[in-house]
Amino acid sequence: MADITNRPHSSIVVDGNDRAPARSMLRAVGFQDEDFKKPQIGIAGSPSDLTPCNMHLGELAEHATKGVNQAGGKAVNFSTITVSDGISMGTKGMRYSLVSRDVIADSIETVVAAEGFDGLVAIGGCDKNMPGCMIAIARLNRPAVFVYGGTILPGLMPHDEEEQRNPMDIVSVFEAVGKHAKGELTDEELKEVEKYAIPGAGSCGGMYTANTMASAIEALGMSLPGSSAQVAVGEPKRKDCEMAGAAVLKLLEKGIKPRDIMTRKAFENAITTCLALGGSTNLILHLLAIAHSTDVDLSIDDFKEIGERVPLLADLKPFGKYNMSHLVRIGGIRPMMKMLLDRGMLHGDCLTVTGETIAESLKDVQPYASFPDEQDIIRPFDQPIKETTHLRILRGNLAPGGAVGKITGKEGLYFKGVAKVYEGEEEALIGILRGDVVAGDVVVIRNEGPVGGPGMREMLSPTSAVAGRGLIKEVALITDGRFSGGSHGFDVGHITPEAAKGGPIGIVKSGDQIEIDAVKNTINLLIDDAEYDARMAAFKPTGAGSKRGILGKYAATVATASDGAVTDKDL
């Protein structure tokens, strides 16, 4: 009898005389006799011409395939979808972005389980690829390694002098739109930014959602050391893919599965690392969803509790100076993880996909060059940008179920202003670009939640327009939608309950006073209790923004943002 130790799933599909039809189908796609005796490893990629984030993933899948086959497995390639936030941002198409996370997870789970793969290499580029892959990996619980497609290189104007170079990315283009509306850029200058901001393959360049999630997955232990801090183009990323293919075979031999790695302590490591890096608000949404799929108990309050002891150390965009490619040059995230470990802020006994623990993996990692003489990207603990987390979990009469603020302190820690209410992102963007929003305003964008959208769009266009008009320190923006990792300013999203589900953000009127306190972690509508109660009693929520198709199905099953906007919580 054939040894099926390393083929617990594929053996069921291809072993025995009764499985001749399955073998016949596989012979047509290139299987030889010897391949039926090898572990089958799925290579889940999402290559496409849709976005620079994914345009190179087909080549990376070829390298992962090589790694699997050379290590004694049989790689089988398949693709999943992607959508581009940067292209759909500010349109109704953006409603499908967060929805795509679940489509990706469902599709990978479906293929791997249906075809009987024994393990998986999942390769992701754009924002939702990463949590989508990780949700599927957690559900399947078969040996797996995640590979990040890599960060993009900065864009540069061809006429920039060497000493005056101003590295650009997609957020530069969004903010240029606001500057153009203000009259600071001509049509020709706006086009110059548009042409040169994005030079080629790779995910958006700052510590935006893609780089945040790549860092989180490495800190979780689910990608190989250094995978999160590599540029998209180059030999290190190709080698990363080959090593990932071989690593899955090692995991099979050792019997190590994703849920052995993704423990509660591993999630705490991911949170700690990404808060120190200045990660995106989407970190909270996605880690909650991945934890749900691993049956790990994680809540928004865990981010609050951990955040009170984690300083912000990285001077990275959107609120900082540098791109991820700059961090790559000084060693990536691993020296910072070693700093955190040495201070007792990471759990060193957590397992990784190498088979080593975090402590073993970081043992020989060298520190960053000295600050600030040789590098000024990662600060020492005694000189943080902020002593506690920039991601604030806020509650109050505007968000009894919680909200997430992205507040670094550069724009202050307290804001009290006058509400300017917009029913949806498009209306808000028009108002901001037109000049309706002025210093002291709190822009309220509602009916953009998981149900109300549906899909919880990111508000990068409005926040960038505010920045472009020079109001970044003088205007706050709150929403039951969410923010791009590229947003910066005094921003509060994920307001729960959302307006479409009867949340109090739905009763705010233009002219109301709103108070946001990032020290007390509160967000309140400043009206008396009797008025508040009367408005809530009279409020008639709009309900789901769509009743049919994938958006309708999503709205009918999605949980709140405070629960990670998962779609299987109540099944």
Q: Of the candidates 387, 420, 397, 385, which has an alpha carbon nearest to the alpha carbon of residue 517?
A: 397
**Contacts of residue 492, Cβ cutoff 8 Å, sequence gap at least 6:** 394, 399, 403, 404, 405, 406, 476, 477, 478, 479, 516, 523
Q: Is 241 annotated as ligand-binding? A: no
| Residue 265: closest CA among 310, 302, 307 | 302
CA 392 to chain CA mean position, Å: 17
115: number of Cβ within 10 Å? 16
Whole-angstrom distance, CA of residue 261 vs CA of residue 267 = 10
Q: Within 10 Å of residue 533's Cβ, how many Cβ atoms?
A: 11
Q: How many residues make up the chain in this entry?
A: 571
| ∠ Cα 240 246 247 (to 5°) | 80
C-beta separation of 52 from 200 below 8 A: yes
Is position 128 annotated in a ligand binding site?
yes
Angle formed by the axes of helices 170-182 and 460-468, nearest 10°:
50
What's the Cα-to-Cα distance from 22 to each of 76, 115, 140, 154, 537, rounded to whole Å?
A: 14, 10, 22, 48, 61
Q: Note if 10 is an active site residue.
A: no
**Whole-angstrom distance, CA of residue 23 vs CA of residue 31:** 8
Give dist(CA 150, CA 214) in Å, integer.
9
Q: Give the separation between CA 33 and CA 276, rounded to whole angstroms.
A: 51
The dihedrals phi and psi of 540, each to the nearest 5 degrees, come to: -115, 100
Burial 17-47 (b: 16+ CB within 10 A, else e): eeeeebbeebeeeebeeebbbbbbbbbbbbb
Backbone angles phi, psi at 539, to 5 degrees: -70, 130
Q: What's the CA gap between 509 and 423, in Å, rounded? A: 11
How would you classify the pairing of strands 74-79 and 40-45?
Answer: parallel
d(CA 346, CA 337): 8
DSSP state of 317: T
Question: How many C-beta atoms lie closer than 10 Å to residue 356's C-beta?
Answer: 14
Q: Beta-carbon neighbour count of residue 179 at 10 Å?
A: 19
Give the pair of three-digit tokens for residue 257: 């599965």
Tokens of 497: 């309950």
The DSSP secondary-structure symbol of 18 reads G
Quote the CA–CA distance of 361 and 225 in Å, as a whole number: 8
Q: Is 458 annotated as a binding residue?
A: yes
The residue annotated as part of the active site, out of 484, 487, 546, 562, is: 484
Binding site feature residues for [2Fe-2S] cluster: 53
Catalytic residues: 484
Binding site feature residues: 53, 85, 127-128, 458
